[in-house]
Chain A
Amino acid sequence: MDALRTVTRDIDTNSTKISARGVQVHYGDTHAIKDVDVDIKERSVTAFIGPSGCGKSTFLRCINRMNDTIDICRVTGDIRIDGDDIYDRSIDPVQLRARVGMVFQKPNPFPKSIYDNVAYGPKIHGLARSRAEMDEIVERSLRRGAIWDEVKDRLHAPGTGLSGGQQQRLCIARAVATDPEVLLMDEPCSALDPIATAQIEELIDTLREKYTVVIVTHSMQQAARVSQKTAFFHLGNLVEYGDTDDIFTNPKDRRTESYISGRIG
């Protein structure tokens, strides 16, 4: 798997950002996540891999409580960010989601201008006191989303008019505009062509300087390219979690080995 390596990965710090203990998720009668324990390091990229329906996206959506919006979904267990229990009664999911941004599988810009897309998060949270401050936030976010140069002349054109890859970078810019600590990405490249994918992957690598990134991906190559830590999910279980190098070169579990060598999936 060494051939897949393009990024040297050193975890910048050793502090744990997100820690999950005994997380269980039920969708009605379906037991989607079974007793998952995981510690995600700060300012690193952690990839969740596994076959379709293994629960990796479900677990990702537990981290910003997006599962709350599904009536039949029940989450138990303990998830902490910086030691705060995010399912505590005193935590408002609205506040949590300002702290934990999310990028979705399909680019989903609002049918508004590029500027308004990025400004929406800061606006609802009241992060900018003046128009000038908002302009600054928008520019900084679009630069972080590596799309500023492409859109700076048409900030008031509709965001839906951009290409797929540009839309996804706009969504990343929109997510970082509220200055979150954690960025969750749910298969952000699955709807994109290889060139757009490469641009996003490059962007993810720069994002980890500032954010803790958790990415769900179907592509093992992508996991190998962008992440420092990899978690392999299978049928709702976290089968193996460790340094990306180790998972791909020296898997300990037989199921992990089968998956990365293409026998299950």
Chain B
Amino acid sequence: MTDIPSGSGAVARTTMDKVHGSLARRHRKQLILQIFGITAISLAFLMLFILLASLITTGHKAFTQTEITLEVFIDPEEISVERLPRGNFTNVLAAAVAADLPSVDQQDRAEMRVVGGILSNGAQFQLRDRVVEEPELIGQTITISVPVSDPYDQLHKDLLDRETPENLRRLDDTQIAYYDRLVENGAIAASLNTGLLTNADSRFPELAGLKGAIMGSFWALLTCFLISFPLGIGAAIYLEEFAPKNKLSDFIEVNINNLAAVPSVVFGLLALSVFIGLFGLPRSAPFVGGLTLALMTMPTIIIATRAALKAVPPSIREAALGLGASKQQVVFGHVVPLAMPGILTGTIIGLAQALGETAPLLLIGMNAFITSAPATPFDSATALPTQIFIWADSPERGFVSRTSAAILVLLTFLIMMNAIAIYLRSKFERKW
């Protein structure tokens, strides 16, 4: 190698030298790529962390509810068996609270109204339901826990600042004194807020729950699944396995791909004019919501199913065809079962997307104020994302933490669905 003509440095460069020289550059490039990748992933995790942290810090307070435990004397003068379910339950409750507050003059109606305001507006209905169930309680004294109203709930959760001047505060000094006295007596305590999942929506934040929204989302997703799953898979199998490859099938394919990219609000407008306007289906019904979501989910399912069908190795088709299986036997006996994990994964991801979809549901009226959970898919209801939208829009302070709590509930459902998808994929993964 000594006779290699040398340039300025007069250093003979062998192949190994050149390789060695390029190594540093190649390693550097790889390092840069790694740094980019790690930075991107860290940023993504940081964002996720910030999102969850902010949701949890504001939302966790909604998972407890401040309640007051009262010894209630069910006064036969106020409540009588004959007049049930009517009766002056508010007065009975206010009297029970006043009994814990010696300074209150029970004859002063204005003062008694303030005392009654410590309790949630729903407290009287809780007591009424209990008495209607067991009328023999009239004349007795019972112990009952009822939610306190929103301002007192906020005060108990340290969301109401006592330092604010009295005229700017939602509770004046007397009310705070009542509260402090009740806390001293041990009547007020925070407990797990099961109402968040078991109550329907309410004007009063302390009573508002997600049952209506969860049931609405459930009916809508069930409708969506029952329509989009068979239709989507049927369309995908036909297009992938049976349709002749020509201009028409190319055209259909392009359009399905386009459909998957159409903004969801457009589907909402379509549903409004066709399902509600033309077919006269009920407004705000989860069934209509499900139909709308099915329109959006179908392209996703078709695309995922076709990809899963394409991924089945041709050798399996050939093996079955070679044994004399008909096309239909090959497709339904071999190809579809082998593609099933991919199909299910695609479907669940499509449904998870549908669960979080808001805009089309707003357009078909699933953001109405409805205080009972839907019993059928044709009853008016909200869905989880639209309930979040309604609560985020509500002025009451108590809805701030409930909005975050509702988002956390929605995210929990989404994570569960995606976890099922991952589980199915790993469980049915096959090796050829």
List the interface of chain A (C-beta within 8 A of B): 64, 66, 69, 71, 94-98, 101-102, 104, 106, 108-111, 120-121, 124-125, 160, 171, 174-175, 178
Q: In the assembly, what is the distance between CA of A97 and CA of B318, in Å?
A: 11
User: Residues of B contacting A111 with CB < 8 Å?
Assistant: 316, 338, 430-432
Interface status of B248 (Cβ within 8 A of chain A): no
A160 and B322 form a contact (CB under 8 A): no
User: Residues of A contacting B29 with CB < 8 Å?
Assistant: none
Interface residues of A: mostly helix, strand, loop or mixed?
A: helix
A174 and B338 form a contact (CB under 8 A): no
Contacts of B308-337 to chain A: CB distance below 8 A = 313, 315-326, 329, 333-334
Interface status of B25 (Cβ within 8 A of chain A): no
List the interface of chain B (C-beta within 8 A of A): 244-245, 313, 315-326, 329, 333-334, 338, 430-432
Q: Smallest CB–CB gap between B315 and chain A, Å?
A: 4
User: Residues of A contacting B338 with CB < 8 Å?
Assistant: 111
A97 and B321 form a contact (CB under 8 A): yes
B319 and A94 form a contact (CB under 8 A): no
Q: Smallest CB–CB gap between A71 and chain B, Å?
A: 6
Known contacts A71-B245, A94-B325, A160 near B431 by CB under 8 Å: yes
Closest residue of A by beta carbon distance from B244: A71
Contact for B318 among A101, A108, A121, CB less than 8 A:
A108
Q: Smallest CB–CB gap between A164 and chain B, Å?
A: 13
Contact for A124 among B315, B317, B325, CB less than 8 A:
B325
Closest residue of A by beta carbon distance from B330: A69
Q: In the assembly, what is the distance between CA of A106 and CA of B317, in Å?
A: 13
A174 and B323 form a contact (CB under 8 A): yes
Interface residues of B: mostly helix, strand, loop or mixed?
A: helix
B432 and A160 form a contact (CB under 8 A): yes
Write 13 A-B pairs (CB below 8 A) sorted by A numbering: A66-B322, A94-B325, A95-B324, A97-B322, A98-B323, A108-B318, A110-B320, A111-B430, A111-B431, A120-B323, A124-B324, A124-B329, A178-B323
B319 and A108 form a contact (CB under 8 A): yes
Q: In the assembly, what is the distance between CA of A106 and CA of B319, in Å?
A: 10
B321 and A66 form a contact (CB under 8 A): yes
User: Residues of A contacting B325 with CB < 8 Å?
Assistant: 94, 120, 124
Q: In the assembly, what is the distance between CA of A160 and CA of B313, in Å?
A: 14
Q: In the assembly, what is the distance between CA of A94 and CA of B322, in Å?
A: 9
| 4 pairs of A and B residues whose beta carbons are closest in the complex | A108-B315, A97-B324, A102-B322, A98-B324
User: Residues of B contacting A120 with CB < 8 Å?
Assistant: 320, 323, 325
Contact for B319 among A64, A71, A104, CB less than 8 A:
A104
Q: Smallest CB–CB gap between A84 and chain B, Å?
A: 16
Q: Smallest CB–CB gap between B160 and chain A, Å?
A: 64
Closest residue of A by beta carbon distance from B334: A110
Q: In the assembly, what is the distance between CA of A121 and CA of B322, in Å?
A: 9
Contact for A104 among B244, B245, B322, B326, CB less than 8 A:
B322
Known contacts A71-B245, A110-B334, A160-B432, A101 near B315 by CB under 8 Å: no
Q: In the assembly, what is the distance between CA of A120 and CA of B329, in Å?
A: 11
Given pairs A66-B321, A111-B338, 14 additional interface contacts (CB within 8 A): A71-B244, A97-B324, A104-B315, A104-B318, A108-B313, A108-B315, A111-B316, A120-B325, A124-B326, A125-B324, A160-B431, A160-B432, A174-B319, A175-B322
